[in-house]
Amino acid sequence: MTKIIGLTGGIGSGKTTIANYFEEKGVPVYIADNEAKKLMQSKLIIEEIKSVFGETVFESEVLNRAKLAEIVFGNSDKLNQLNSIIHPAVKKDFEAWLQKNKNYDYVIYEAAILFESGRYKDCDIVITVTAPEEVRIERVIKRDKTTKEQVLNRMKMQWKDEERIVKSNYVINNDNLKNAKEEVVKILKILNIKQNQS
């Protein structure tokens, strides 16, 4: 039976970088946010988003993700409504993906809101990636070309590191990528996962 490693961390913690490194080392990785973006382009999901959020979040039938983010990251009820559309679709998609990777002992399920969504309960092991808040803010401003205020709004919607750490089996501190990669290698050894040498 394939074991699921849940990989999470707050916005800007660098969890996707860590997920990619696990993949380099030979562990299949499912990045929930990326898959959710693809699923949000499907007809069925678009119709559901329209029925909840109206036409204003669309431009010429194309979902304006920035507009939608502006609405949901300032309103927890709206965020819950969006999640109730997206999460079931991602869960179904992940189950199909898991089936394709069932010959692996371990796979990674990477999700920003692993705890908030309750998906951590489906994981055998949970790893939290952390980084100092200022570093995280700086990374997101640079990556998303956004403002500090917008980053802080998104952080408010997520659990704090302390809350995640209590429920995690392993913690990777990612303020320095070299050290973070060494932590990944240690975890792979503890779990006895055969690594690709790179």
Query: Which parts are annotated binding residues for ATP?
Result: 12-17
Q: Copy the structure tokens of residue 37.
A: 């973006």
Residue 67 to residues 56, 151, 170: CA-CA distances in angstroms?
Answer: 8, 15, 35
Q: Amino acid letter at 136? A: R
Binding site: which residues? Answer: 12-17
User: What is the spatial distance between Cα 148 and Cα 71, in angstroms, rounded to a whole number?
Assistant: 17
Q: Please report how the helices 177-190 and 15-24 are oriented relative to each other, as an axis angle in degrees rounded to 10.
A: 50
- Distance CA(75)–CA(158), nearest Å, equals 13
How far is Cα 125 from Cα 53, in angstroms, rounded to an integer? 36
